[in-house]
A and B are shown apart, each in its own frame.
Chain A
Amino acid sequence: MHFGPHLLLAALEGLVTSAVLALTALGLSLVFGVMRVVNVAHGEFFMLGAVLAWAISTAISGHPAIGFVAALVIAPLIVGAVALLAERLVLRRLNYNPEATIVATIGMLYIIQQLALTFYGPEARPVEPPFSYRILLPWFGYSGYKLSVVAASVLLLVATWLVLTRTRIGLVMRATQYDSETAQAFGIPVDRVYAGVFALGAMLAAIAAVLIVPISQAHYLMGQDPLLLSFIVVIIGGLGSLRGTIVAAVLIGLSDGIISMFFSPTLAKIIATLVVAMVLVFRPQGLFGTASR
């Protein structure tokens, strides 16, 4: 292949990464923005979504699409329930103290990871895609499923944005983010908003995982890379800024796809991590964010 088509392929792969990353990072960003909680266990909610997708799709026989759709509905609900339980039992009792919640979510990370290893095992297992249509480009064929992942992600991002900006629920969430004490004084059940946001954040990660699992397999350690990448995206985009998060996800996903096609993936990760650490040191509000911390 020539350089042009090669670059196009890299860009397409990067776009798929961006789509999934945007959803995952949006979950992390929402939780941080509204609750001021850094959820280190976010990657494990992602992994849990993928593992559940495998379990559900193998439990249901028949056409792979039926199992996949079932997984897409049920897996995020279960993950949301787990997150809700964690929020009620642990985070709320810590009064959302930033340092204590980081330690507690590290604890959750280890618990979820170990339980997945115990009950799911160390193997990587594939999930069959719901359809296997290939789009033929002049230079190579490309998986139609991968493009539909991008479309689904865009749809979900638009839906989340509409909910946040156009509905009463979104208004309540933004009010809580802006000033939780005043929100409380105006009769907003801040406590329940927190619980809902935490569950919603985990569900977004789980949906992203179900979408990606037919492309990359389900594995109990698969939550680590998305966690780090989501952190990178949320920091570059500005902590708690939604628009910044999405722009940064596309930027990081594309550059990750392109850089790792031409250079060693380890080197790409070193450069990306170092750049992000420097952004956080010298521009803590992020490249796009204007929100004061």
Chain B
Amino acid sequence: MTEHTVRSYDEELSHLNNLIARMGGIAEAQLDASIQALIRRNSEQAGKIIAADAKVDDMEHEVHAFTVRLLALRQPVAHDLRFIVGALKVSGDLERIADYAANVAKRALVLNQLPPVPPMAAVPRLGRLVQEILKDVLDAYVDQNQEKALRVWKRDEEVDDMYTGLFRELITYMMEDPRNITPCIHLMFIAKNIERIGDHATNIAETIHYLVNGTPLLDARPKGTSVLPEPPPAGEGN
């Protein structure tokens, strides 16, 4: 896109872009570190992740304040408006992603006090998949690349499938030996947190589509298997 006649406006938009990129980088690093802390049973690392979450919260506030300022002072329209509103939404998603990463770290602290259980290995696999998706969607955001965003959006199906498989696996372990219940429940919540990160990455992909095209992404997203039963079709059941 060509430059604004008013150069300081471009500088402000570029500052906003940098804030989001930095926030995305931190959220990515937090997710990576939380999975490492889980695999390596590293409580010190988990503690650092929990402490670092405040940084992402602060950045979200900074993005909020800055976008409100831009809206008030520049009265943006068209692509500029969509970009600024998009940054606001993406910052919210990134804050949630970092929150979930901190939650994973909190449960890793608890798990480290318990004897290891075999299904531990499956959780990092889910973690790596979501990390890949998060990285791709952040790249798509920086490049404003809607094709890439669309690919990410479609991959949420894989996350759902893997999460459902993990859910069943954990139930099997719990049924096998009640002593597994405590660690498996923690792992289940960790898996859920990681799966939710995937959902927020999908939200970001939708925001990218909107800010590039100006229209919402309306197609039905391919859905993976779910741990929940199919809802009954509307109009039946009476």
Partners in one complex: no
